[in-house]
């Protein structure tokens, strides 16, 4: 098949959604398909790049930061993407479109379906569906409610990452179209599982990965580390990511002389995996999350996870075998759970049970995810009216 992927973010831009697009594109190509990605340009990147059956087209839409976009920048990309596809309709030989987010990607896909009857699948990452993230998105969901509903109703399918997201999407789209909501979880890279913590390890190596914004709650993480330091529990934390809270976090760390905390900023995915391979724990206390790639990647490296009990993490953290749940915004709870982990697991060289590893390996790989997408695509393409 010749597959068009729409996503206003693609590495090095953005976070999880761009990385998902990259992995899926690579898997589709490995299975003999052609892929074109329409995304956003950023300084230093080529506007057009084609190799190994992958074409990347980067549009010069408004974009101030690599780590995060805003609704006005998304709208500008959507407008320029519509202009681009309108100008190139006569060149399009695509079989299907995979549009990331109901808005902005879904709006462009909806336009293509009206113009050239190109079937499309929405890949939702959570906050683009009302009312999954009301604390963050209520105004925008209210403003765009009828547009999002029309895009989802006219889509050939909408892919969500978890059962909770499926229930939210089905309630939103209505009884007539709820069969279109399909669950395909994200994947993870090849395993390099540590069989246990080294008995020579004396300091907990902790990691936080994500945008430095309120939703991800990095402040609770560094306050928890401060509490642990006061309790005499040895811990070293690496903060990976960028965002509007970065400067405030650095000031707090300097003010309280938290020398055991390093702010690394945004680094490459390969570098993140190198950090995970040396880490013992990941702290991910997000307010809401669709399915965290950082948690999947941490698990793939045998890292014990402390995360909030939100969509996605419920399926990944299994009965205290590979992690524990913490409360959002509660540094004391995070510190207490890590303290228990230190005494009951870290000092006793705990390792993942084989049963849990088998479960993760069987259910969460990019190849498995890509196969499910391709099966869905083929069913849609073969039933498309001639």
Q: What is the pLDDT of residue 131?
A: 56
Q: Are residues 54 and 141 in the same domain?
A: yes
**Assigned domain for 199 exists:** no
Q: What is the pLDDT of residue 22?
A: 94
- Work out the average pLDDT over 356-376: 86
Q: Are residues 305 and 253 in the same domain?
A: yes
User: Each residue of 172-224: pLDDT tens digit?
Assistant: 888 899 999 999 988 876 555 555 566 567 899 999 998 898 989 999 999 99
Whole-Å CA distances, 371 to 62, 290, 303, 335: 34, 21, 27, 40
> What CATH number has the domain bearing residue 28?
3.40.50.2000
**Residues 331 and 220: beta-carbon distance below 8 Å:** yes
Beta strands 304-308 and 281-284 are parallel
Residue recorded with tokens 């992690």: 323
Q: Are residues 226 and 268 in the same domain?
A: yes
Q: For residue 214, what is the DSSP state?
A: G
Q: How far apart are CA 306 and CA 334, in angstroms?
A: 8
Q: Are residues 358 and 258 in the same domain?
A: yes
Which pTM value belongs to this model? 0.78
Q: Are residues 168 and 263 in the same domain?
A: no
Structural domains of the chain, count: 2
Instruction: Kindly tell me if the per-residue pLDDT of 360 is higher than 80.
Output: no
- The residue segments making up the domain with residue 304 are 204-363
């Amino acid at each position: 098949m010749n597959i068009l992927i729409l996503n206003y973010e693609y590495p090095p831009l953005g976070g999880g959604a761009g990385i998902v697009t990259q992995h899926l594109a690579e898997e589709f190509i490995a299975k003999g398909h052609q892929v074109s990605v329409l995304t956003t340009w950023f300084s230093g990147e080529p506007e057009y790049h084609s190799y190994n059956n992958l074409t990347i087209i980067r549009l010069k839409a408004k974009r101030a930061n690599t780590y995060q976009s805003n609704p006005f920048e998304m709208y500008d990309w959507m407008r320029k993407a519509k202009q681009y596809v309108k100008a190139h309709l006569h060149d399009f030989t695509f079989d299907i479109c995979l549009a990331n987010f109901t808005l902005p990607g879904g709006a462009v896909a909806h336009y293509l379906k009206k113009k050239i009857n190109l079937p499309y699948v929405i890949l939702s990452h959570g906050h683009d569906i009302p009312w999954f993230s009301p604390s963050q998105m209520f105004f925008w969901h209210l403003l765009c409610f009828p547009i999002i509903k029309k895009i989802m109703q006219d889509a050939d399918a909408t892919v969500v990452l978890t059962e909770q997201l499926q229930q939210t999407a089905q309630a939103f789209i209505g009884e007539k179209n709820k069969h279109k909501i399909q669950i395909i979880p994200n994947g993870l890279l090849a395993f390099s599982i540590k069989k246990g913590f080294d008995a020579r390890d004396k300091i907990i190596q902790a990691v936080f990965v994500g945008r430095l914004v309120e939703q991800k709650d990095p402040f609770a993480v560094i306050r928890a580390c401060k509490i642990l330091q006061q309790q005499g529990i040895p811990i070293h934390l690496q903060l990976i990511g960028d965002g509007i809270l970065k400067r405030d976090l650095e000031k707090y760390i300097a003010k309280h002389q938290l020398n055991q905390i390093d702010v690394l900023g945004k680094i490459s995915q390969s570098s993140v995996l190198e950090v995970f391979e040396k880490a013992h724990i990941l702290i991910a206390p997000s307010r809401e999350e669709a399915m965290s790639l950082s948690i999947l990647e941490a698990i793939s490296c045998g890292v014990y996870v402390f995360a909030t009990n939100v969509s996605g993490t419920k399926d990944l953290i299994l009965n205290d075998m590979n992690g524990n749940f913490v409360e959002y915004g509660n540094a004391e709870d995070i510190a207490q759970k890590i303290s228990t982990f230190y005494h009951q697991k870290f000092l006793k060289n705990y390792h993942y049970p084989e049963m849990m590893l088998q479960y993760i390996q069987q259910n969460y790989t990019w190849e498995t995810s890509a196969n499910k997408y391709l099966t869905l695509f083929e069913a849609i393409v073969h039933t498309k009216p001639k």
